[in-house]
Structure formats: structure tokens, C-alpha cells
Amino acid sequence: MTWAIFHEQVFPIRHKLYRFALRITGSVHEAEDVVQEVLEKVWKTAPEQSDNVQNWEAWCMTLTRNRSLDKTRSQSLRRTAPLEGVAERSSNTVTPAQATEQDDLVARVKLMMQQLPEKQRLVMHLRDIEELSYEEIAESLSISLDQVKVNLHRARKTIREKMIHD
Amino acid sequence: MKYEEIHELLDRYWEGETTLEEERRIKTYFSAGPIDERLQSVAPMFQALREERAVQLTTKAKAAPMRPQIYQWAVAASTALLLAAGWWMLREGKNTTTPLVEQTPVEQPQHLNHPSVNSPQEVIAQAEETTPKPAAPRKKSQPRRNKPTQEPEIDAETAQAMAEIKAALALVSSKLDKGRNQAVKGATYLEAMDKVPKRKEG
């Protein structure tokens, strides 16, 4: 892997890796460290891995997940919902009061997602936020396709029920 | 998109039966608006997904994790060049000066007490002991401190040896220049690459 290829294939997905790390660690600083370490590791080991790795993105996601879980488990970090980076909303027909209520609801949905069991949380993140295929999710998380589908179904079902009951 | 259509897509979405393309259509519906009154309750879900997707890594230091390694390579390459140049210098010195001595006719046998000479250093040392012939252009700029009474002249062999050394040093110098130019090019490239992601993020 050359410098140019690294910049074309791996470096552009750093935001994706960061969001994934943030989803697991719940900490901005930890997620930044994870991305830094993953990019370094990819750069150093890519030449010897280049024959084995078919999908660099999935491989990077796997590295990110493993590194994030290591950090989370070793430091027993308390997970918090990442609420930073609130983007502007495009709904132009709501009143300010409705907007505030809407923001509360959005924040609650984010919290619900963050409180899902680990596997459901990661599958839902990779599908609904990063828009990965079932195959890519299975490869990234080292689980079967059936497990991907089951966990995604359970995650969405949980969120929907909570939204209805809240 | 009609209510019935999006409602049907949503039902399948909750069951985990939608394709990526169908899921993108749902997201587009909720981001573009207007949203049907009956679907307002699930709008926060897709707004949350949209906002989470907008989160980006902002630390600019993350942009260049491998820069130090590039410099390590530059240092290694420079060292290798130096070593190669040194080896070449020694090799060239042996190849050219030794035959030169052997071919030199013995015009002043009283000064050539050593029948054979093995290294350039010995050639120079021996040449310094001889009474030199006027051949070297640099003789006046290098007076001999240890032999102030003698004429500060260098014979043809010494001049040739010095010329060889000068050529070797010139080669080392040119290699260093080349290495430095490569390093400058690399640094310029790194700076340029640093600016590209910044512009995208901005």
C-alpha cells in the first residue's frame, strides 16, 4: 500500500471509523485515540496484509471495533450518548416550541440507541448510520449474516416500542 | 412520496426487511419534507440518524499519523547514501592510486625506499617524503607546517591522489544535495496533503 492508496481508500473513511469508535466508547477522546491508532496500524501492517484484505473498509472497521472494545473494557468507561455535532434541521414548518420538543425527542432517540445491547447497537449503527450492507456488517463485526439481521430487527423494534411508549 | 407508500416501507423497515435503497428513500422523505402528520411521531428517529451521520472527526492532528515515519525513511535513505558514497570513495581510491604508483617510473630512486605501496594513505605519506616535482596547482596555498625549510611542493602522484579525493567528496556532496532535494519534495507533498482534508472539512 502506497501513501497515495492509503489516502484514497483508508484516510477518507476516518470520519466513519471515528463515529464507530464513538458509538462503542462513548468518549470523544477515546474515539480520537482509536482512530489515530487504527490509521497507524493500517499504515504499518498494510504491506503484509494487502494480499489478505479484500475490503479495506471492513478491515478498518474490525480494527476500530477491536481497539474500541479493548479501551472500553480496560478502562471501564461509563458510556454516554454522543450529543455533540448537532446538525441543522431541515424541517421548516415547525414552530420554535415544536422544534425544542423535536430536539428533545431526537436526543432521546440517540440515547435509546446508545443504551441498546452492544451487538444490536453496533449493527444498527453500521446499517442505519453508515449504510453498510449486511455482508459488510457481518465482516466488520465477525458475525454471521443471520446474526446481523436478528440484531438489526431487535434493535429497531426496541427503539420503536420505546418511542411509542414514551 | 405518498403516505401509503412510505407507511408500507416503514413497516418493512421496522421488521428489518428493507434494502439499503429503500432505507435511503425513507431517510430522504424525512429529511426533505413535508412530513405527513401521521408520520410525525417517527420523524425524530430519522433526524437522529441524520445527525449522527454528520458527526465528524475534527482533530487535525489525526490527518498525519505517519509523517514521522516518512522522515525516518528519509534519514535512513540519507545514511545509506552516505555509506554508499564512503564505500565508493574507498574503492575508487584503491583502484586508481595503486596502479598509478606501480606504473610510475622510478626517476628518483633515492626517494623511493618502499618497493610497494598498498593504500592511498601510504601513497600520500610517501609522496610527502619525496622531493616533489612542480606539478600541483594548489601547492602554494598549502604550506607545510612540519617541514618549513622545504619547498612546499607536491608531486604528480600526490596531486592525482588529492584530485581523486576531491572528486569523491564532490560525489558525496552531490548525493547529499540529491537527498536533500528529495526530502524537500517529500515535505512539500506532505504539506499539500495536509491541506486537502482541511479544505474538505471546512
Domain of A12: which CATH number?
A: 1.10.1740.10
Indicate if B126 and B150 belong to the same structural domain.
yes
Distance from CA of A64 to the nearest CA of B (A): 14
Indicate if A8 and A73 belong to the same structural domain.
yes
Indicate if B42 and B71 belong to the same structural domain.
no
The half-sphere exposure of A42 on its side-chain side, counting CA atoms within 13 A, is: 31
Q: Domain total for chain A? A: 2
Domain membership of residue A53 (yes or no) is yes
Domain membership of residue A27 (yes or no) is yes
Task: Report whether B88 contacts B168 (CB < 8 A).
Answer: yes
Listed range (A107-111, B17-21, B51-55, B132-136) with the worst mean pLDDT? B132-136
The closest of A71, A65, A62, A73 to A29, measured between CA atoms, is A71
Indicate if B50 and B87 belong to the same structural domain.
no
pLDDT tens string A54-78: 788 888 999 999 999 998 887 654 5
How far apart (Å, rounded) are the C-alpha atoms in residues B48 and A98? 16
Indicate if A4 and A53 belong to the same structural domain.
yes
Indicate if B127 and B48 belong to the same structural domain.
no
The residues near A45 (Cβ < 8 Å, ≥ 6 apart) are none
Indicate if B108 and B157 belong to the same structural domain.
yes
Domain membership of residue A86 (yes or no) is no
Indicate if A55 and A20 belong to the same structural domain.
yes
One-letter amino acid for residue A39 of the chain: L
Cell of A37: 491508532
**Confidence category of residue A96, pLDDT binned at 50, 70, 90:** low
Residue A42 at interface with chain B, using a CB cutoff of 8 Å: no
| Domain that residue B41 falls in | 3-55
What mean pLDDT do residues B100-129 have? 48
Does position B202 have pLDDT exceeding 70, yes or no? no
Domain membership of residue A5 (yes or no) is yes
| CATH code (residue A153) | 1.10.10.10
Does position B5 have pLDDT exceeding 70, yes or no? yes
Domain membership of residue A42 (yes or no) is yes
Indicate if A31 and A65 belong to the same structural domain.
yes
Q: Domain total for chain B? A: 2
Indicate if A163 and A108 belong to the same structural domain.
yes
Indicate if A64 and A6 belong to the same structural domain.
yes
The half-sphere exposure of B194 on its side-chain side, counting CA atoms within 13 A, is: 14
Q: Which residues 84-123 of A have a C-beta within 8 angstroms of B?
A: 84-87, 89-93, 102, 105-110, 113
Q: Which of B20, B54, B66 shows the shortest C-beta gap to A87?
A: B54
Indicate if B132 and B91 belong to the same structural domain.
yes
Q: What mean pLDDT value characterizes chain A?
A: 83
State residue A99's pLDDT score. 64
Residues listed for chain A: 166
Does position A26 have pLDDT exceeding 80, yes or no? yes
| Max mean pLDDT range (A34-43, A140-149, B149-158) | A140-149
φ/ψ (deg, to 5) at B15: -80, -5
Indicate if A112 and A166 belong to the same structural domain.
yes
**Confidence category of residue B111, pLDDT binned at 50, 70, 90:** very low
Domain membership of residue A132 (yes or no) is yes
Indicate if B191 and B92 belong to the same structural domain.
yes
Report the run of H or E that residue B127 belongs to, with start and end.
helix B120-129
List, in sequence order, the alpha helices (H) in A13-114: 14-25, 28-49, 56-75, 96-114
How far apart (Å, rounded) are the C-alpha atoms in residues B192 and A3? 13
Indicate if A102 and A38 belong to the same structural domain.
no
Indicate if B155 and B193 belong to the same structural domain.
yes
Residues listed for chain B: 202
How far apart (Å, rounded) are the C-alpha atoms in residues A116 and A155? 7
| Domain that residue A13 falls in | 1-77
Task: Report whether A119 contacts A141 (CB < 8 A).
Answer: yes
Domain membership of residue A92 (yes or no) is no
Indicate if B108 and B37 belong to the same structural domain.
no
pLDDT tens string B66-99: 555 566 677 788 888 888 888 888 887 766 554 4
Task: Report whether A90 contacts B31 (CB < 8 A).
Answer: yes
Task: Report whether A46 contacts B66 (CB < 8 A).
Answer: no
Indicate if A37 and A70 belong to the same structural domain.
yes
**Which single residue is written with the C-alpha cell 618549513?**
B148
Residue A83 at interface with chain B, using a CB cutoff of 8 Å: no
Residue A76 at interface with chain B, using a CB cutoff of 8 Å: no
Domain membership of residue A54 (yes or no) is yes
The B-side interface with A (CB below 8 A) comprises: 13-16, 20, 23-24, 31-35, 41-45, 47-57, 59, 61-63, 65-66, 69-70, 193, 197
Predicted ipTM > 0.95: no
Query: Torsion over CA of A96, A101, A103 and A109, rounded to 10 degrees?
Result: -160
Choose the final residue of a domain: B33, B55, B77.
B55
Indicate if B159 and B104 belong to the same structural domain.
yes
Chain A environment of B42 (Cβ under 8 Å): 160, 163
**Which single residue is written with the C-alpha cell 440515547?**
A111
